[in-house]
Amino acid sequence: MFHPSNGINRLLAQIDVGQMWQKLSHPFRSMSSTNKCQMAHRICQMVPAHCPFERNVVLFGRSLFQIPALCKLNPFYEQVIELRFRALSYLADQCDEDVSCYCR
- pLDDT tens column, 48-95: 888 877 888 899 989 998 888 777 777 788 888 888 998 999 899 888
pLDDT reading at 2 higher than 60: no
CA dihedral 37, 41, 42, 43 (to 10 degrees): 100
- pLDDT tens column, 14-55: 666 666 666 666 655 555 666 788 888 998 999 888 887 788
Q: CA nearest 47: which of 76, 67, 16?
A: 76
Give the pLDDT of residue 25: 62
Is the pTM higher than 0.85? The answer reads no
First to last CA, the chain: 49
